[in-house]
Amino acid sequence: MTCKSLFAAAAAIFVVTTATLAQEAAETAASGVTLELNKLEKSDKGCRAYVVVTNTTSTTYDAYKLDLVMFQTDGVIGRRFALDLAPVRPDKRTVKLFDLDGTVCEDIGNFLVNDVMDCRTDAGPAEGCLPGLNVKSLTKAGISK
């Protein structure tokens, strides 16, 4: 085998290994519970938020309550509230909505998942709920943790 052939074989192995590791990293990052801020719309009382909750695990969460902080577009905290997502079923995608009474949708800058207030399975309190929570937004308002 020539040096050129060895180099080509090593390069091919490197490319395959890198692609496999990247795919595994993406799958690991996507596992857990994902909270997607999907839509904000005007309602009679203020602003209605739609969130998509996706659980890619085999775990059922009987309780999954978040401590959320809403920041206005100027960066000032607008309000703090609890958002109950339970039940969060395994391998399931669910849409939840909540109303922000007295809030104009255009005034919402972003949301912060400040903490997970309650996270339980039928076996009791669950560990790693905040680190295992992924967040993303499809709206002009962001979401972070």
Q: What is the pLDDT of residues 61-82, one digit of tens each?
A: 999 999 999 999 999 999 999 9
Q: Is the pTM of this model over 0.85?
A: no
Per-residue pLDDT of 95-117, as tens digits, reads 999 999 999 999 999 999 999 99
**Domain total for the chain?**
2
Half-sphere exposure of 56 (CA within 13 A, CB side): 13
Q: Residue 10 is part of which domain span?
A: 1-30
Residue 25 shares a structural domain with residue 36: no
Q: Are 45 and 144 in contact (CB under 8 A)?
A: no
Residue 21 shares a structural domain with residue 90: no
Q: Are 2 and 10 in contact (CB under 8 A)?
A: no
